[in-house]
Structure 1
């Protein structure tokens, strides 16, 4: 019987899973497979599982419930194992590694931050603060531009945007870093210039949230900050 594996915990973790169901169109029963000091939370894996909203929510609900009563190593959606024996074997073979990660994540949660700035605001700043960009733009508006000037302006603006995005991201990270244990930077998508996860322990959560709120106020309405958390520490397992 193929198993769907949600997470790994210490064997002493109180696995209060009452009221929760597993993934699948016919929700599977949640249970644990244990080996010595570790346990995996599993259910029977449905055939043809896809990341539908209902199943993503079921997966996340297990992690969030486990977080309330102890440390958890959350696995990404879709992780399966052939059977109980395979799960048991992995827990035994990687016991030291998993135990160390549980210790490192004890009392911590993940906060995920994305940030963007309005493009028009950034372009106005560049034209105001870059003499070269302003000169090129004025020449183009005056009709004195050769065929290469718009391209030159576009390349200059692109370089300036990248440099300013990098500077903004670095400044935000430096301001929040003192209140975190670890960070994981991901490639920004869309209009975002920052896409980062922080590992924050309970003692620093209020300081971290206050610092993030202070940055939001300081940078102003031209910025779009989206902070998600506390979350299971997917990025730090």
Structure 2
């Protein structure tokens, strides 16, 4: 019995309550590690749905429990990053959910089989690398307060008033800091991406996983170029 047939025989009473979350497309010979964890709380089991030469990494999830927690995004990225270390993978955007295993096999895999197979073959000999960097919080704030007069003024106002009286200034300063972090994150990401232009075949900025992240990039490069990244 195939995976899709197995799903079909059981889906009668769960079709309206569960969906199939799709992480990405891989070669059909990829196996999932037993300790692999998917999205959701608790983390969903990760399975493989195969169709010809390609397959999809998936999890069965309840549709009445929306995804979107930072932990879900991290689980999605971690699974794809781990897979990319051992096999080519075509990632799907976070949040891709299909009706059931049949729809994954027929609509996604069978409907785009040759396209996926060709793309995966082109990725052979390449690997995904993750580049992360984080601001030094103490040094960042010290420089900000020294160079930004608005931040310094708000800091002084907060220090001169009791806690509740300075709440508004605290909120404004917090927002100012967050905005500057985002601006500097973009600057650092662009600078690193520029340096990697000659090495990376593909570059994908990732969402920050921590408020002090300075750079979070996923890049695809030839395995033979690994030394150029070190």
Normalising by structure 2, report the TM-score.
0.55
Residue in 2 aligned with 1:21? Answer: 37
Residue in 2 aligned with 1:95? Answer: 113
Moved over 6 A (4+): 113-116, 168-172
Alignment partners' CA distance in 2, 1:172 and 1:54: 26
Give the one of 116, 120, 127 matched to 1:108: 127
Residue in 2 aligned with 1:85? Answer: 102
State the secondary structure of the residue aligned to 1:178: coil
Root mean square deviation of aligned Cα: 4.0
Unaligned runs of 5+ in 1: 124-164, 187-193, 210-237
Normalising by structure 1, report the TM-score.
0.54
Alignment partners' CA distance in 1, 2:48 and 2:117: 17
Q: How far apart are residue 201 of structure 1 and its match?
A: 1.9
1:132-165 alpha-carbon deviations (Å, 9 max, x no partner):
xxxxxxxxxxxxxxxxxxxxxxxxxxxxxxxxx9
Give the one of 53, 58, 62 matched to 2:79: 62
Q: How many residue pairs align between the two structures?
A: 167
Structure 1 residues 79 and 185: CA distance shift in structure 2, 3 A: closer
State the secondary structure of the residue aligned to 1:102: helix
Residue in 2 aligned with 1:148? Answer: none
1:129-168 matched pairs, under 5 angstroms: none
Structure 1 residues 92 and 205: CA distance shift in structure 2, 3 A: same
Which structure has more relative contact order (CA 8 Å, sep 6+)? It is 1
Residue in 1 aligned with 2:226? Answer: 205
Tell which structure's C-alpha radius of gyration is larger.
1
Asked if structure 2 preserves the Cα contact closer than 8 Å seen for 1:20 and 1:61, the reply is no
Asked if structure 1 preserves the Cα contact closer than 8 Å seen for 2:23 and 2:80, the reply is yes
Asked if structure 1 preserves the Cα contact closer than 8 Å seen for 2:50 and 2:105, the reply is yes
Q: How far apart are residue 206 of structure 1 and its match?
A: 1.7
Give the one of 161, 169, 176 matched to 2:196: 176
Q: How far apart are residue 113 of structure 1 and its match?
A: 7.6
Q: How far apart are residue 69 of structure 1 and its match?
A: 2.4
